Structure formats: structure tokens, C-alpha cells
Amino acid sequence: MSSKVAVVTAAASGIGAAAAGALAAAGAHVVLADADPAGAAVAHALVKSGFSAEFVLHDVGNEASWIALLAGIETGSRRLDVLVNGPGSYETAPLHDATIESLRAMTRVNVEAVFLGTRHAVAHMVRQAGSHDAPRGSIVNVSSTPESAAGAAAFCATQGAVRILSKSAAVECGARRHHIRVNCVRAGWGIAPGEVAGAVLYLASDESRLVTGTELAVNGGRPGV
Amino acid sequence: MQRLAGKVSIITGGTAGIGRATAVRFAEEAAIVVITGRNRAEAEKTLELVQRAGGSGCFLEQDVTAEAGWIDVMHAVVNRYGRLDVLVNNAGAFFVKPLADTSLEDFKGLWRINVEAVFLGTKHAMPLMARNESGGSIVTVASLAGLVGLDQCSAYCSSKAAAIEFSRAAAAEGAALAHPVRVNAVAPGPVWTDMIARQYGDTAEMRNYFSEDQPLKILGLPADVANGVLYLASDESRYVTGVALTIDGGRGAD
């Protein structure tokens, strides 16, 4: 991953932080993005370990925030090679108690965030490629598995959306003859974040240059994959 | 790199194509590579590449459809290296034929290699791997054809679908062991191998057809599959089991 630049959202903790760490350890410059300022300490720790990282305060559900984030990368004379859309939020409630507000809140950070990130990252990769080269890059969206569970209908709806959004974006990028790959990692509920990092790294790297539109479950083989 | 350092690995069909590329990739990551197959001359070529990549290993002659052969291979590997960590069920067969022209013998022949050999290998590898503190990893080279239907490939598609479902079910059993054995499949789409080049002719048109036949429009190579197998064989995927990883330029997402 050396000389590559990766943006990782939800990087202040959990799967996002672990993915950022793995990408940085593999030699990428990692931009850790999160609305939680604790991400600054995660980035700082990576830099102290001798890796290349920085933190940017970022609201994944806000389009202006995405535009500013990617503009910042350009201003720093860096390319964007990888975007990892980390996990969003998670609320459970039986259907009869679940509120539309809860669904909307999750939709904002779980679905709209991935839509905005994927959209702006693709646009950025197309722009930076210029008119002669095919745009390149890898986008990894973190979703979850199992895909259906009692008491989690609203959350599951958002996760299914991420999975299909990723596949559709993969097919579209291919149809436009881009070498931009879009894949989905489906993390098992309650999984140790470090277990997901290897999957993110594989899908982010050129080792998976033929892999797009796939969904890679990391869940210890639970049924229902 | 050392992503498979010291891991004793069997790769069936290691005499050509994806098997050969996997053997070389494994050697680069410091695995001990046992390749099996029927063509000794081609096996020697793979071993030479393995050595050039800085690895070590050996060739065992094997008919993957015979259970006695599997038992011999397992004994030979344990006698020589003391353990087994990784099995890559790579040997496979393929033909294109209209259903009406496909004889039961054609059908059974494909299933023997694509399904029965996977069953036999997994059955005999799993208990050996379960002896290791670190368990083991079994990777079956299936095909995108096991997930989508292809014209005039009913025998092939059904056999690869069986291999994928077999892996998923075996994964559940392997996960329950005290030292878990992971079982996964890769599902490659169109890949440009020597076998394909010989069958269809190594022409620019043919290569172009292969790269245009999926959304990414790049020619899939054996190394692309080998990298996916490497990920699933290594400890980087130690929480991944029961999956079918598509390596297909997006063909299956279409």
C-alpha cells in the first residue's frame, strides 16, 4: 500500500480504527475521518508508531463535509486511492416500538454516508485520472451480517442497502470503464474489530484488482451468510 | 513476505494455471508447498518456479478422484513435514456442451473431479489440521459458474455450486472443532490460463473477449485468483469461514 492514500471513516474507534491501523501498517497514508475528535489520538498513535496518518473532523452524513474532506486531500497534493466507509450506527427495538426517527437517524449515517462517500470518491478518482488514464481506486464499504434479525429491522434495512449500493456502484464503475472497484465487507455482529482489518486490507490493495461487487463476510462462519 | 511462514500446504492440480500461480504465490510467502497432480514434467516446472521464489516443497503424484490416493498423500505429507496447515482444492475439469449432448458419463466425470475430489480432500485434511494448535484452512477453487448459470455449462455450473455449498456446510463442522479448521471457496470469473489459451487460441481477440466479458474490463489472470486464495489461507482471514469469494471483475454483481 506504500504511496497510496486511504480515507477511512468512523476511524476513531472499532472497525474503522482497526482498518486505519492495518492500512497504515501496510504503508498507506491514512486520513482518519470521524465526527468524534477521539480519532485525533488514534491518528497520533499511528504517527508515533512510525506510520503516516492524519485526522480530519468529518460528518459522514453531510455532503459539504465530504466535499471539504476530499478538497483537503487535493490541497495536500495527494491522490485518493482508497476509501473505507466504516460502520455507522446501530439501534435495536422490536418493530412495534421502533420509531421512524430511529430509522432516519441510522439511514443518515449508514446509507446516506456511504452514498455520499462513494459518489464523491468516484468523482474525485475520475477527476484526478485526467482524460488519458482510466480512473483507478478501491472503495470498501463496511456492512454487517446476519442480514436479518429480530428486533433490528430498521438497522438491517440500512445494511442491506449498503450491500446493494456497493454492487450497483461496482457495476456502474465497470460499465464506465473505470478501474474503480467497490466491494462490501460484512462484519459479524459483535466481532473483534481487528478481524475485519485483514479483509479491508485485501480489498483495498492491488492483490484484489479483479475483485469488485463482492461481499466478503467476516463472521466466523455463522449460518445465514 | 512471511504471510504463510512455515505453513505446510497441499495444492492439487499444481501443475498448471491457477494451481501453479498459487504454488508460486505461496512460496513467496514462505509456505512449504506440496503440489499434486498427474503430470510430472509440468510439476517439475512448478517446483522450479517455487524454488526460484525462495520456497521449498515437493511433488506427489495423485489422482484426486481416488480416496486411497488421498490417504497416501496425507501420510506422505505428515511423514515428511509432520503437519498439514493448508489444503487448496484446485484440481478441476471443465467442458462446454449442450445439455442434450451431455452424456451421464460426461456429467459424472466432471462431478468426480469438481465435487468428489473436494469432498475427499476436505474429509481427509480436516482431522489432520485439527491436530494443530492453530487449526487449518481449506480453500476450494470453485467458480462464478457455481453462483450464476452459464450457457451450455449445466454439468460444470452444478458441480461448482455443489462445491460451494459443500464448503459452506463443511465450514460449520470445521468451526466447531477445538482447533478450528476454516473452509472457504473462491469463485473466479473468466481467467486467462494456459488451458484456455490452448483451447481457444492465444489471440488478441480472445484475450479481448475475456477482458470485456465482465464490468472491470481487465484480463483476469491466475495470479489474481492466487492472491485471493492466499488471503483465505493466511491468518489475516482467521475469522472468515464459509464464504465464496468472487474474483470475477464484477461479473457476478451484474
Nearest to A5 by CA among A222, A204, A217: A204
SS (H, E, C) B106-163: HHHHHHHHHHHHHHHHHHHHHHHHCCCCCCEEEEEECCHHHCCCCCCCHHHHHHHHHH
Structure letter (DSSP) for residue A3: T
- pLDDT surpassing 90 at residue A13: yes
DSSP string, A50-84: T-EEEEEE--TT-HHHHHHHHHHHHHTT----EEE
Instruction: Find which of A2, A122, A182, A210 to mutate to test the B interface (most B CBs within 10 Å of its CB).
Output: A210
Whether the predicted interface score ipTM is above 0.90: no
Instruction: Find which of A211, A215, A225 to mutate to test the B interface (most B CBs within 10 Å of its CB).
Output: A211
CB neighbours of B37 closer than 8 A, spacing ≥ 6? B12, B13, B14, B15, B16, B19, B43, B59, B61, B62, B91
A83 within 8 A of A118, measured Cβ to Cβ: yes
pLDDT at A225: 42
Which pTM was predicted? 0.92
C-alpha A72/C-alpha A66 separation (Å) is: 10
| Residue positions counted in chain A | 225
What's the grid cell of residue A13? 474507534
Identity of the amino acid at B232? L
Q: Residue A223 — pLDDT band, cuts 50, 70, 90?
A: low
Minimum mean pLDDT among A107-116, B106-115, B206-215: which range? B206-215
B209 catalytically annotated: no
Which residues does A contribute to its contact with B (CB < 8 Å)?
Answer: 167-168, 170-171, 173-175, 177, 179, 181, 188, 191-192, 195-196, 198-199, 201-202, 207-214, 216-221, 223, 225
Q: How far is CA B151 from CA A70, A85, B158, in A?
A: 44, 37, 12
What's the rounded mean pLDDT across residues B97-113?
A: 94
What's the grid cell of residue A223? 449460518
> Does residue B10 sit in helix, strand or coil?
strand
HSE at residue B206, side-chain half, CA atoms within 13 A, is 13
Query: B216 in contact with A at a CB cutoff of 8 Å?
Result: yes
C-alpha B96/C-alpha B251 separation (Å) is: 19
For chain A, what is the mean pLDDT?
94
Q: Do A216 and B252 touch (CB under 8 A)?
A: no
Q: Do A208 and B228 touch (CB under 8 A)?
A: yes
How far is the alpha carbon of A160 from chain B, nearest alpha carbon, in Å?
14
Identity of the amino acid at B244? A
pLDDT tens-digit readout, A151-167: 999 999 999 999 999 99
DSSP string, B175-231: HTSSS-EEEEEEEE-S---HHHHHHH---HHHHHHHHHTSTT-S---HHHHHHHHHH
C-alpha B203/C-alpha B210 separation (Å) is: 11
What's the grid cell of residue A104? 432516519
Q: Residue B244 — pLDDT band, cuts 50, 70, 90?
A: very high
Q: Which of B217, B239, B241 sits opposite A174 (nearest CB)?
A: B217
B229 within 8 A of B246, measured Cβ to Cβ: no
Q: Do B236 and A198 touch (CB under 8 A)?
A: yes
Query: What are residue B10's DSSP bridge partners?
Result: B34, B87
pLDDT tens-digit readout, A68-91: 999 999 888 889 999 999 999 999
Q: Residue B199 — pLDDT band, cuts 50, 70, 90?
A: confident
A116 within 8 A of A161, measured Cβ to Cβ: no
C-alpha A210/C-alpha B135 separation (Å) is: 29
pLDDT tens-digit readout, B55-90: 999 999 999 999 999 999 999 999 999 999 999 999
